[in-house]
A and B are shown apart, each in its own frame.
Chain A
């Protein structure tokens, strides 16, 4: 079985209608993945792009066999025994701190029952391939992050996998190191020095995806669905400054931020409606900072998202929640990849500290249903205040425990800033004490 660039696509992995639901008590589970189809062919690098909570890591682990999907099938059509040989690289490197580099690389072979001499030979070869020679006897804690991820790569490659699964492999590294590792991996891939037939990489970095992948699947979050499939035809090696490259990045930004066009601005921003909306954790300082940046002379109230991300050194993944909260509060509006500052936003930027708080309180109590609900309950409920536990229980009927926790924290933080209500952590209660 030889694969060249010109053979018709031969599927290595086929996922059909894969859903994953996290069971949670009696109420309906939280759907992480919703009926996802994925085909991985030989000779391609496929990227799974999406923000946190879009289930892309879950999908990767489903391919790895670490997670059994709640529904749907995973098949490896070209594997003889139906069990594909995969290697996996982790965001956290996942090295055994008590084993040396050599032992870490050998560990997979050892589990396969490879004889010691053979094991040593293959491990040394992999270490050599990945540029780790001289570090065989070092322990992970003696290595830099980049070197550790090289160990992770060597360990994944040493078992001669058909498919390399990578879970945000470069996101824990600094920019320079990440770039070097990316280039080295692409070199190995194009020079065919590994037995790899395909690479599946999870990332939230749009540029990384465009730089490496032949095909990119864009995921929506809550629940995770494939919303776009983009084929990248740019020749390798790719140049970030190439206009075609930039245009593609821009396009993906747009796809990741555009909602169904008919829906009113706020709905569909976050999973769930009204009270059930899952709110991200975004500090009011960051909201104010972004609005100030938008109002600044560089943008004058209208900014191109990729440019803004680059300027502020944010990953798309980090920027989206902020823009979405601004949209929710009607401080800003998103239009075709551009972020527009709305009049309340402009007023916010120009106001003094108290004026800002006043404005924020207005928008917060009007446009965040959960805030409206809490404030209303407090105003009609009298002195005793409102048990946060009750609110949490209500939220948990709509979303997972973690999301409920996160949503509540966001509302508490925003509510405190807006002086819309107070929260007493010890008593776990909302109240109107010290509130205008």
Chain B
């Protein structure tokens, strides 16, 4: 917030000064006030409901009463934003730590890389138990568990993005900051945060889209004998699915769509339009994103004054920092790292790893047999087969479509919002329809449940291919035209190489998401119909429902191994190849 006000105030100081004599209340003032006050009331209302005793959940169970739906939508949205706030805090502490300390980075970066590819849905089992224990008898425990589940789906890519920005701050700007002797705080708000902003905003939007999937999966959970149903859209949908109530599912989907639309317009668009100035380029290019809400807020003088008041603590804080001791601040990384410290740190890490391995082995040996492990790996291979086949199929469909769209700018503009909505839309809501189809047509569940895994993740492929195709340089297209290159040759020599780097990014995301989705996609319910496909996802789902902790651990560990190995062996290589040979620039 502070940056917004600070910059909007500093950016047009002379205009502001000339306006200072006008004290009237304008229409934008009223509108801005209403928007903010409304948001504040909603947040307060939703938050106060979180702290009810746990028994309240039993006495007022979730119902399919339409009048309750707005309330549920509000509660779900608040959970999303609470998780987002937690993710931001996590991002700034962890990413900063990793960027500033080489030793911390040694631990944090691989950890983030693994967490990013681990099936977070599997964690629910443990986190529910943990948080319920932390807040006994209060809904807060269940809320915290749900928020944590959403958090685990949001935080990693945000942290990565900020870490990458922090480590790639342009040298000349870094030198300016050091030469003027910026305090750490000033360096952060003047240099590092603005530089990281565009990447962060983009990743926040990705995370929010991904988050809905987990809202649906985490609000109504059963772990052994613990049944939790937090009021929210996810629970509404779970209940509707349980009762096989078509209309209710439709309403739930509608409410979710509305919420997505609202926060897109009221929050993300303004943020994107505002963050546009932080893009690190020296030339003005293309059309800057616009937002009516941002325009409204900027026009409101009352808000600007409020901003000034809110800024005061920061001004005060800044004044308290010791004034610049100019120059003579050499970069900490300049100092030669002490080999002894490094060795010590390596020993500490090594001992911790060995201990973890020992604990794990001990636990597994006590509860599981070799057969279990073999079974998990076998099921893992089945799920792997599904992921590979489906990503291939999705690529076959979406690469040509994406290339076509990307080459037609008019369609890019028309379809982009739709594609964004589709990516944000939690695909698990649609699973019941698949169940009805499979049951109705007597299809093989092992085969036909599989497409559900890519239902929500295929859009990443489409997204990226569109971006790649629209980035094909005009002269390349003209060459193709002049030599009448078409058909297979055109695909082989122009379209496919040009979109390949983008495709790899999209397919990597899609395959990771599909593994995760397998936990909900391989075991699906509709009313009393239960369908299951043989696979690691169904294995974890079943173990979770039975509170069979050893098998949940085993399932997650095996799935993580599969995902990480797959990333390293396939995607990373393709990525390096694409970067080396096919980058157009």
Contact = CB atoms under 8 A, between A and B. Distances in A.
Interface string B316-343: 0001010110111110001010000000
Interface footprint category on A: 35 or more
Interface string B149-176: 0000000000000000000001011011
A304 interface: no
B281 A141 contact: yes
Interface in B528-552: none
B513 to A, nearest CB: 32
Nearest to B15: A137
Select the residue from A86, A94, A103, A111 with max chain B CB neighbours within 10 A.
Answer: A111
B482 to A, nearest CB: 25
A6 interface: no
Contact of B327 (A83, A90, A136): A83
B460 to A, nearest CB: 29
A67 interface: yes
Contacts of A108: 180
A112 B324 contact: yes
A86 B328 CA distance: 11
B291 interface: no
Interface in A385-411: none
Interface string B242-280: 000000000000000000000000000000000001111
A328 B498 CA distance: 41
B183 interface: yes
B284 A98 contact: no
B176 A113 contact: no
Q: Name the residue in B14, B191, B282 with the highest tally of chain A Cβ atoms < 10 Å from its Cβ.
A: B282
A139 interface: yes
Contacts of B190: 96, 99, 107
B248 to A, nearest CB: 47
B102 to A, nearest CB: 14
B181 interface: yes
- Range class of the B interface residue count: 35 or more
Contact of A112 (B7, B172, B278, B323): B323
A61 interface: yes
A142 B279 CA distance: 13
A85 interface: yes
B179 interface: yes
B194 interface: yes
Interface string B1-13: 0000001001111
A15 to B, nearest CB: 15
B2 to A, nearest CB: 14
B163 to A, nearest CB: 20
Contacts of B321: 113
A94 B172 contact: yes
Contacts of A136: 13-14
A148 B12 CA distance: 19
Interface string B179-201: 11111001000110010000000
Contacts of B172: 90-94
Nearest to A109: B180
B194 A96 contact: yes
A112 B282 contact: no
Given A61-B175, A90-B172, A100-B10, 20 more contacts: A64-B179, A66-B178, A66-B179, A66-B330, A68-B330, A83-B326, A98-B7, A98-B277, A98-B278, A102-B10, A102-B13, A111-B182, A111-B324, A113-B319, A120-B13, A136-B13, A141-B281, A141-B282, A141-B283, A148-B282
22 contacts: A66-B175, A66-B327, A86-B327, A88-B175, A88-B179, A93-B282, A94-B170, A94-B175, A96-B176, A96-B190, A97-B281, A99-B190, A107-B190, A110-B186, A111-B324, A112-B323, A112-B326, A113-B319, A120-B13, A136-B14, A140-B282, A155-B176
Closest 4 CB pairs of A and B: A94-B172, A65-B327, A113-B323, A111-B324
